[in-house]
Structure 1
């Protein structure tokens, strides 16, 4: 374990860092030193090499059998640092090496971060996580599904699991976008229902089309996302006679220029990953209609929670759309409640402060 002097900032080892890691590194500035282990050996986009930020040299390969010799090499590579931050399943061997040799080599604390639930449940990986994370100082998860997995499947103690939602710039989303600042122009008198769809959720999008078809003609449906438009959805649009009311503009380069133009935001599928676009809608003071899945219940303001609907409950979705469409003051009240909750609980500054406390506590050293 590094014996940092008071002259040098604490030294962190990042294994398979994410875009959020890059944001945190930038936010912490010169208060920490960073060495990053990536698959290609280069720094992630957004970072440049300095005396305080550098790629790892000669770190043991992340792939291979968890044999004692390989694990020992990994453990030895951690000794020069004050804190080890691992990310995702690809970094679990590093966590395993830490558990195996922490006491023998006096290794620094390790905090593991999981970002997305496993696509498929694997008993082998579940057991490996249980063992590998056995001596970690913390396990960071963004939402309810992963929190439940950490507590139940991986059998980690409650005090070790830290639920930290990814923060967003709530001030940026609070600014009302220009009506012509997006590739579509929102004309006076038009009202927009927005959805940021997943290409795998064709059934949910089709259900939304049918529910939307019952709304007045001054409402338009804006479907954001990549590779959403399919022949089957086009056929449904034709059948419902919505050709001039449904648009597929793709993925906006700047979400702040479009989310705030929505009068209602809809999420048609349960949350598999952390629903960042739902949070963006909250920050933009937009009321949300979403599938009741636990995650949305936790994130949304209390005033918005009664507008959640069960998966595949098309009639409820249609009724909720009609009710909100007919009541502008209600939409405004729910949207403002969402905005306040986003500012209080989901702002980027709050997230950065939470990570700062967590990392400082693990190192037993403030920065």
Structure 2
């Protein structure tokens, strides 16, 4: 009989945290674990779990899940589920309650966001006290977690996220790539400078636009195109006010023809292959999944010199720039714009680094060791 785990994510949002449970389920299955899910009724999390082959147990609210805790316990017992994996701190009260009522359950928690304030009051001591392992997705978040959470250091482990590098292999034919670049608004012969991700204030799109404005002033004859990839509406996870501000600023800088707002794309791996340079100007990333996705696509990355991004990028795979200084981004972009061989060398080294350190298979292998109580000797 396969060991079983329930992924708990009672969120009505949509971002990396919410995408994570469905993303790891196929690899969990490949490594011998049966996954179950607990989500909000009608949420994108629930839909993503179903798309991954899991029919989740759903409730209309977090409060209803707490009220119906006996139903959840009955489900866990009926399906012989022994491990609970929570992904939002607000779900830990439910996880801790389930463990309190059924002590043989094992509760693990991934801190996807990075804690911002201490959690050492009596309630958090009780709820986190039921957690057997807390995963930090970077060293930057682990340092904060050690200070904030009421847990001994040995229960807080860094576990880098991972991806399957295969879909990101640059296998587009010349005509296919040309057609996709045209679809993304990239003129023939232009260097495509992309920024993928949710459009919100913390992701740095405003700084990127300012940097492109200065880049245009510095070399008005250079052939490049900015490509902003991300949903343009609230139901796609973006801040519509920020989208409007960016459009206005692009117009003020005279960049309307040089910055494409392409919207949400379900084919991000292919889009990354169509770019030449990828920028990740987020001020305080807890990890930086977009960074390793771009590296897996063999694209050089210019990333912020803050948060967890410096753990992913080095001088052999990309460039770091201050998230508060547009001119630093211009300097990095000019270097890459002017040297195609440098771009190719950094891109190849980046893909190699992902294959060595940031694969989904490696991430899940470490995860299931923890599920099974076979803690690995080294961190991943």
TM-score (norm: length of structure 1)? 0.78
Cα distance, 1:312 vs. partner?
1.5
Cα 1:132–1:74 change in 2 (3 A) is farther
Q: Is the 8 A contact 1:99 1:134 kept in 2?
A: no
Instruction: Name stretches of at least 5 consecutive residues in structure 1 with no aligned partner.
Output: 1-7
Which residues in structure 2 correspond to 1:319-338 (within 5 Å)? 319-338=331-350
Quote the residue 1:132 is aligned against. Answer: 127
For residues 243 and 7 of structure 2, the distance between their equivalents in structure 1, rounded to whole angstroms, comes to: 40
Q: Is the 8 A contact 1:283 1:338 kept in 2?
A: yes
| Structure having the larger proportion of residues in helix | 2
Cα distance, 1:85 vs. partner?
2.0
Q: Is the 8 A contact 1:193 1:263 kept in 2?
A: yes
Q: How far does the alpha carbon of each residue in 1:118-148 deviate from its partner, in whole angstroms, 9 at most, with x for none?
A: 6xx5656876434312242211232345323
1:170 to 158, 165, 168: 165
Quote the residue 1:251 is aligned against. Answer: 264
Pairwise CA RMSD: 3.7
Cα 1:312–1:16 change in 2 (3 A) is closer
Quote the residue 2:284 is aligned against. Answer: 271
Which residues in structure 2 correspond to 1:103-142 (within 5 Å)? 106-117=103-114, 121=116, 128-142=123-137
Cα 1:23–1:209 change in 2 (3 A) is closer
Q: Is the 8 A contact 1:199 1:225 kept in 2?
A: no
Q: What SS class does the counterpart of residue 322 from structure 2 fall into?
A: coil
Cα 1:263–1:96 change in 2 (3 A) is same
For residues 20 and 106 of structure 1, the distance between their equivalents in structure 2, rounded to whole angstroms, comes to: 26
Quote the residue 2:15 is aligned against. Answer: none
Q: What SS class does the counterpart of residue 108 from structure 2 fall into?
A: strand
Q: What SS class does the counterpart of residue 249 from structure 1 fall into?
A: strand
Quote the residue 1:44 is aligned against. Answer: 46
1:207 aligns with 2:200: no
Which has the higher mean CA deviation after the structures are superposed, 70-79 or 311-320?
Answer: 70-79
Cα 1:25–1:173 change in 2 (3 A) is closer
1:158 aligns with 2:153: yes
Instruction: Name stretches of at least 5 consecutive residues in structure 2 with no aligned partner.
Output: 11-17, 233-239
For residues 105 and 308 of structure 2, the distance between their equivalents in structure 1, rounded to whole angstroms, comes to: 33
For residues 48 and 248 of structure 2, the distance between their equivalents in structure 1, rounded to whole angstroms, comes to: 42
For residues 253 and 358 of structure 2, the distance between their equivalents in structure 1, rounded to whole angstroms, comes to: 38
1:293 aligns with 2:306: yes
Quote the residue 2:195 is aligned against. Answer: 195
Cα distance, 1:292 vs. partner?
0.7
Cα distance, 1:240 vs. partner?
3.4
